[in-house]
Amino acid sequence: MAEQSQKGPSLKEQFWDPVAGFGVTFRTMFRKVVTEQYPKEKFPTAPRFHGRHQLNRWPDGLEKCVGCELCAWACPADAIYVEGAQNDDTPDADGNSQRYSAGERYGRVYQINYLRCILCGLCIEACPTRALTMTNEYELADDNRADLIYEKSDLLAPLLPGMEQPPHPQRLGDETAYYRGENAATPVDAGDRPAASVAAQAPSQEETA
Ligand code: SF4
Ligand code: SF4
């Protein structure tokens, strides 16, 4: 043993081994670069990627959510909070309708806590009206906890042309017409646009979710 240590390292150990150690580095230098330049360049996600939720609307702008809380019950992370309330067709003091959705009830309070959500999608499977879907939006980071609790106003789909901000009366017929997609040709309002044309101009936003 003492004789071997006095001989010192062999030629191979002196010259070849240090170079061989860089073998992976040299090979990789000539490969195609796969580093993504995020956030300067954003690549599209897979079409069915589970990103931020969206609360969809009917073609006249009424909300699809009926405040049933099934999504909240389905959530394994207890990330959803819903408070339902009764729609009311009685005009308020200003003569305006107090209806927010097609049907008896609507989601008066709707929150998703993205500090808890694991984007599993069980809530959207549970939703009976397809009110809740998920978009491809994945940039959900923030620098404080409060802003990661999304309110209904953060989650509601934007109003498309032809849609009207609730509260307002059912423009597309009775409740059955909404859920069967019949969109009976009742007048939209004092204007001259029939409900059927509203439906044609503004398809349901769940298709984009
Ligand atoms: S995606 Fe999953 S964890 Fe997130 S709110 Fe829906 S059910 Fe809950
Ligand atoms: S999003 Fe769907 S499941 Fe959740 S409360 Fe509204 S209607 Fe019910």
Q: What distance in Å separates the CA atoms of residue 160 and residue 158, rounded to the nearest whole number?
A: 6
| pLDDT at 21 exceeding the cut of 90 | no
Q: Does domain 52-180 have CATH number 3.30.70.3270?
A: yes
* Alpha-carbon gap, residue 15 to 53, rounded angstroms: 59
Å from CA of 91 to ligand 2 middle: 26
Q: For 123-145, write each residue's pLDDT tens digit.
A: 999 999 999 999 999 999 999 99
Per-residue model confidence as pLDDT tens digits over 150-164:
999 999 999 999 999
Measure the CA angle with vertex 152, ends 147 and 156; round to 5°. 110
Q: From residue 165, how far is each of 27, 145, 151, 161, 180 by CA, in Å?
A: 59, 29, 17, 11, 22
Whether residue 119 has its Cβ less than 6 Å from ligand 1: yes
126 lines ligand 2 (CB under 6 A): yes
194 in a labelled binding site: no
